[in-house]
Amino acid sequence: MKALVFNDFGSSDVLQYAEIADAVAGPGEILLSTTAIGLNFADIYRRKGNYHLVGDAPYVLGYEGAGVVVGLGEGVTDFVLGERVAFVDVPLANAELVAVPVNKAIPIPDGIHDEIAASVLLQGLTASYLAKDSYAIRYGDVALVHAVAGGVGQMLTQIITSLGGTVIGLTSTEEKAEVARKLGAEEVLLYSDNWAEKLAGKIDVAYDSVGSTLMESFQTVRDKGAVVFYGMSGGDPVSVDPRMLMDTSKTLTGGDLWSFLTSKEERIKRSKALFDMIIAGKITVNQPRKFPLSKGKEAHDLLESRKSTGKILLIP
């Protein structure tokens, strides 16, 4: 099978489109012929050697995608050949064939295209737990969303507004700000603005995926408000003085998707709720930017440039 591989850590120049041994479905697994593969910043970090990778060189990136069942491993009875399936945490996905454990396989319903499934699962499920679990948005809440035009930011904006909340977004360019406004953000400020002072004490919950902005996020949050910290795209956060939390009754909560996708049942339940919102028109998914799997280097370069505003897919 063809796959996007690399032997050494480094820039996108290390990526190669090469022939490797076919993936095989083991016991309790299904074999998918991939139709769309999601590209995420975690793939950049793994390519650089910052995140753990499965297996030995040549390494294969990718953890998210969709495809059609073309093989059934021993003991598999709840899937059939030809069924459309998505996944969100299965390694070695940057390939024409992927072996997926049945407890991580997510059936794709009618009304959801494979490319949509591969575009929304990681970021959509993240946005969903942020708005419903880390801090349960109530009608009238004002939420600050960092990186509002990014994949999670776009989903989070729409979920918050569907729950009756108001979104104030932060982004880097006016072009990205316009994307967020079209998806329902009430107001969008640029990071170059004096946003922390402008919003001081006006926010109920701040969703911070930047990290280095953590204390500014706290500045925007009212007393008894909350900051949800779930990423470090801008660098490590400073340490938080618990006395500040005590004095202001503010809350700091961490967020990680894998704390919530703890079983097959949770994966399917949460994915179905996300798909239902898309089918019902409560979430709009912008057209993903597609690259052939053989052009993986160009896809990595675009994502790393931070100039993209939607999902990037690799198409085998």
pTM: 0.92
Report, as an integer, the average pLDDT of 42-48: 92
Distance CA 184, CA 234 (A): 25
**Residue 263 above 90 pLDDT?**
yes
> Looking at residue 52, what is its pLDDT?
79
Identify the band that residue 55 occupies on the pLDDT scale cut at 50, 70 and 90: confident
Q: What are the φ and ψ backbone dihedral angles of 232, each rounded to 5 degrees?
A: -135, 45
The answer to whether residue 310 scores a pLDDT higher than 90 is no
> How is residue 108 written in tokens?
């794709």
Closest CA to 180 of 106, 33, 306, 284: 284
107-132 pLDDT, tens digit each: 999 999 999 999 999 999 999 999 99
- 136, 193, 124, 129: which is closest to 163 by C-alpha? 136
pLDDT at 306 over 80: no
CA pair distance 17, 131, nearest whole angstrom: 39
Find the angle CA(163)-CA(111)-CA(278) to the nearest 5 degrees. Answer: 15
Q: How big, in percent rounded to 5, are the helix, strand and coil portions of the chain?
A: 35, 25, 40
Contact 226, 205 (CB under 8 A): yes
Confidence of residue 56 (pLDDT cuts 50, 70, 90): confident
- pLDDT at residue 307 in the model: 79
- C-beta separation of 97 from 34 below 8 A: yes
- Mean pLDDT, the chain, whole residue set: 95
Query: For residue 96, is pLDDT > 90?
Result: yes
pLDDT score of 83:
98
pLDDT single digits (tens) 229-245:
999 888 889 999 999 99
Residue 62's pLDDT band (cuts 50, 70, 90): very high
3-state class (DSSP) for residue 75: coil
The share of the chain scoring above pLDDT 70, in percent, equals 100
pLDDT above 90 coverage of the chain, percent? 91
Lowest mean pLDDT among 42-46, 133-137, 307-311: 307-311
pLDDT band at 53 (very low <50, low <70, confident <90, very high): confident
pLDDT digits (tens, 9 = 90+) for 70-92: 999 999 999 999 999 999 999 99
pLDDT score, position 50? 83
Question: For residue 37, what pLDDT is reported?
Answer: 98
